[in-house]
Structure 1
Amino acid sequence: MAKERLGLKNTLGLSPKVEVRKSEIDVEHTEKAVKEIHSTKEETKRVTVDMPTDLFKAMKIKILGEQTARDYILNLVRNDLNKY
């Protein structure tokens, strides 16, 4: 009754059901894309190094905006190995 008085009779009901379109997943295409994204050109080995916080902060300040910590450390190792 209050709905009719306020003119809300047709506005407070449930909305009509809408059919959800189901998508098909191309598994082969997805796996290929994942391999391309996560593949590297060379085989890698993960190395973990515990570093004092002050040394880590100094390194991050030095390389800020230039390169990642990973790239910085790889360059240091490559340069050290090329000395000999």
Structure 2
Amino acid sequence: MVSNQLLELENFIHQLSVEDKLWLLGQIMVQLRQVSETINDRDKAADIQYDPTVKPIWEIAIQIGANIPESEWEKVPSDLSKNFDLYQG
């Protein structure tokens, strides 16, 4: 069953010029594409499977950090985590 709002909208659209109808159709198509992309992205994310053989990101970070010389670590401010915004630049 079609709602009264949709019937009113249909009547209003009927009164529009061809140019306005084409503009409205274009806007509807843009919104439908956005909804479709959102659904596709959600479906793709749902397809991602957990792989227990992959090294966790924190282990990768530790491995990378281990390759940085101590002299470089000494340059990192001790309050970096608390004042990160201050040090960005």
TM-score (normalizing by structure 1): 0.24
More helix by share: 2
TM-score (normalizing by structure 2): 0.22
Give the number of the structure whose alpha-carbon radius of gyration is greater: 1
